[in-house]
């Protein structure tokens, strides 16, 4: 039918029978509005990914600037990544609650502009405290952005294609990672002064020699301020999701939003009667503690444990891949190039994983991802070596594909695990917790790399260090098989309606309090101690204590979620 006002068809949707928002979205299929959302959210994630990965692309050069007389800053260099991730933890936790309260659109616009504004001052940092402070603040916006995008995709896309689009969101973020490498590598390695405030630095190499560079890495953070402009574009181009309107009891606005989507994409529309719109009941308690109630604890265990493993491994390795290859014998430029190939493979995996997830199901797909990770890390440990650049490119492609396949396979499960009222709270708190894994991983791996057990002739044996990742990969596989419930192919309203009746006494407060204590212990042992305690990595109790900190959350979920699983099987 032609797109003109004369073609308007005003007839009740579904013959005047009751309907849900998901019924309407599924009936429309993939349309122009879908692709508009796809593009708008995609660019938000590209900028988001660039903002995160730019620190991993530039960390060696930032370290040379801040500590020119220290050729091996170890945990200090690892902390360059940590500060942004800690900000993402706080931003994710706060942004999710904010999004469920004031709307997806408003929160996303605020988040994008926020991290653009606070990335800009990092270009002028002269020391770690200044740099860390603004990484932390900017991370607040970055952490808010990612879960909102996942939630918006899940509330906008038809049920049959939801997995594909949700995982494409992660592909866009990794595209930002790749751009950070493509843009940052030539900028940082340029022998010319690219901006007036990029001072000349003379630094000490590991072999005792000295070298000179310009601090051109500062330009990379100027580029990171572009989202300020994009946030303004989002304000005018993006629409609030009908699911959010409906859940807030604003049924008329939800119906108008549905009519607007149909009219913009087809030129005609049905009449959606607010009185016929069915909204699944929302939890009486919408505070974060409800995620740990008996009703949701198994779903929380599934996504928190598996995403924690993925974040630990992805962010930890991305922080140290350039150092790994430089230690093997490659130049700084080649090392960053290999990291970029790793991230390029991540785009391929993120594009693929959604199709497979919709085809074979969420659980099988995620389990396959962990098995692939185990195989990939063993091959990298055995065959990464000097003077084999082509082979190393292949291994980074394999490792990047496997690792990002696994972590992205968790993405569709996040919004499908909770009803609309707490959906973004659930998604964002999962991602916030997992970023403790990412925050600690760069420091933990850096501390491990500095331990005598992993040294050969005074240099780090990265082939041994990377094998440590087999432990979290196995944990990810076990948690997938134990906790993940299949959610693929069901509409968001079906998933919400399928929830068991709510017990008013089941608040989750006790379990929530215990989990916060676990998180505090994790933060102290894996983040605070390596940064504050002098010579922490050389202390014989350091590795066991960090191991305890990392394993405590898994023990928590094995106890509380395992207990609930046992009740359900009776």
- The domains found in the chain, sorted by start residue, are 20-268+284-493+506-568 (1.20.1250.20)
DSSP 300-349: HHHHHHHHHHHHHHHHHHHHHHHHHHHHHT--HHHHHHHHHHHHHHHHHH
Three-class SS of 110-153: HHHHHHHHHHHHHHHCCCHHHHHHHHHHHHHHHHHHHHHHHHHH
Exposure letters 166-195 (e unless 16+ CB within 10 A, then b): bbbbbbbbbbbbbbbbbbbbebbbeeeebe
State how far the Cα of 79 lies from the Cα of 389, in Å rounded to an integer.
29
Angle, helices 297-328/420-449, rounded to nearest 10 degrees: 30
pTM for this prediction: 0.74
Per-residue pLDDT tens listing for the chain (570 residues): 344 444 555 677 777 788 999 899 998 889 889 999 999 999 999 999 999 889 888 988 999 999 998 887 766 776 787 788 788 888 887 887 888 889 999 999 999 999 999 999 999 999 989 999 999 999 989 888 888 888 898 899 888 888 888 888 778 888 898 899 889 989 999 999 999 999 999 998 877 889 999 999 999 999 999 999 999 999 999 999 999 999 899 999 999 999 888 888 776 668 889 999 988 777 777 788 999 999 899 999 999 999 999 988 887 787 778 888 888 888 878 887 888 888 888 888 888 898 899 889 999 999 999 999 999 999 998 998 888 999 999 999 999 999 989 999 998 898 888 887 888 788 888 888 887 777 777 777 877 777 777 877 777 787 888 888 899 999 999 999 999 988 877 776 676 665 545 566 778 899 999 999 999 999 898 888 877 887 776 788 888 898 899 999 999 999 999 999 998 776
Distance of CA 54 to the CA centre of its chain: 15
Q: Is 221 exposed, middle or buried (0-12, 13-18, 19+ CB in 10 A)?
A: buried
State how far the Cα of 417 lies from the Cα of 498, in Å rounded to an integer.
11
| Spatial contact of 458 and 384, defined as CB atoms under 8 Å apart | no
């Amino acid at each position: 039918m032609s797109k003109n006002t004369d073609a308007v068809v005003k007839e009740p949707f579904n013959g005047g029978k009751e309907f849900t928002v998901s019924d309407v979205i599924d009936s429309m299929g993939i349309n122009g509005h879908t692709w508009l959302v796809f593009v708008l959210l995609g660019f938000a994630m590209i900028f988001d990914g660039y903002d995160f990965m730019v620190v991993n692309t530039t960390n060696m050069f930032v370290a040379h600037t801040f500590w020119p007389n220290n050729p091996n800053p170890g945990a200090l260099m690892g902390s360059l990544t940590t500060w942004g991730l800690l900000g993402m933890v706080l931003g994710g936790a706060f942004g999710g609650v904010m999004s469920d309260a004031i709307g997806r659109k408003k929160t996303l616009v605020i988040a994008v502009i926020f991290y653009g504004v606070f990335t800009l001052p990092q270009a002028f940092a002269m020391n770690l405290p200044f740099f860390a402070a603004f990484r932390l603040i900017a991370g607040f916006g970055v952490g808010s952005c990612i879960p909102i995008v996942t939630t918006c995709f899940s509330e906008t896309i038809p049920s049959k294609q939801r997995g594909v689009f949700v995982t494409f969101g992660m592909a866009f973020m990794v595209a930002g990672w790749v751009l950070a490498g493509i843009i940052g590598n030539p900028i940082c390695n340029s022998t010319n002064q690219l901006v007036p405030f990029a001072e000349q630095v003379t630094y000490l190499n590991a072999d005792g020699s000295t070298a000179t560079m310009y601090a051109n890495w500062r330009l990379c953070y100027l580029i990171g301020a572009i989202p300020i402009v994009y946030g303004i574009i989002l304000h005018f181009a993006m629409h609030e999701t009908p699911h959010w309107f409906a859940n807030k009891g604003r049924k008329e606005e939800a119906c108008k939003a549905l009519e607007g989507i149909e009219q913009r994409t087809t030129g005609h529309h049905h009449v959606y009667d607010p009185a016929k719109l069915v909204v699944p009941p929302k939890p009486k308690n919408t505070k974060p503690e409800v995620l740990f109630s008996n009703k949701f604890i198994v779903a929380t265990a599934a996504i928190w444990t598996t995403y924690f493993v993925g974040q630990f491994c992805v962010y930890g390795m991305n922080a140290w891949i350039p150092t790994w290859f430089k230690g093997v014998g490659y130049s700084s430029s080649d090392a960053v190039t290999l990291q970029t190939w790793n991230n390029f493979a991540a785009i391929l995996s993120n594009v693929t994983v959604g199709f497979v997830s919709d085809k074979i199901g969420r659980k099988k797909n995620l389990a396959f991802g962990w098995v692939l990770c185990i195989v990939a890390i063993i091959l990298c440990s055995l065959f990464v070596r000097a003077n084999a650049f082509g082979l190393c490119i292949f291994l980074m492609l394999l490792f990047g594909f496997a690792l990002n396949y696994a972590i992205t396979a968790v993405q569709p499960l996040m919004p499908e695990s909770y009803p609309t009222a707490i959906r973004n709270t659930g998604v964002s708190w999962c991602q916030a917790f997992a970023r403790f894994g990412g925050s600690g991983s760069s420091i933990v791996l850096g501390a491990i790399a500095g331990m005598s057990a992993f040294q050969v002739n005074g240099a780090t044996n990265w082939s041994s260090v990377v094998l440590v990742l087999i432990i979290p990969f196995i944990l990810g596989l076990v948690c997938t098989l134990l906790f993940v419930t299949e959610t693929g192919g069901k509409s968001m309203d079906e998933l919400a309606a399928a929830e068991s009746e709510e017990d008013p006494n089941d608040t989750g407060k006790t379990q929530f309090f215990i989990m916060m204590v676990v998180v505090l212990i994790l933060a102290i042992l894996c983040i605070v101690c390596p940064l504050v305690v002098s010579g922490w990595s050389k202390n014989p109790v350091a590795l066991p204590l960090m191991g305890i900190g990392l394993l405590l959350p898994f023990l928590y979920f094995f106890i509380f979620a395992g207990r609930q699983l046992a009740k359900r099987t009776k």
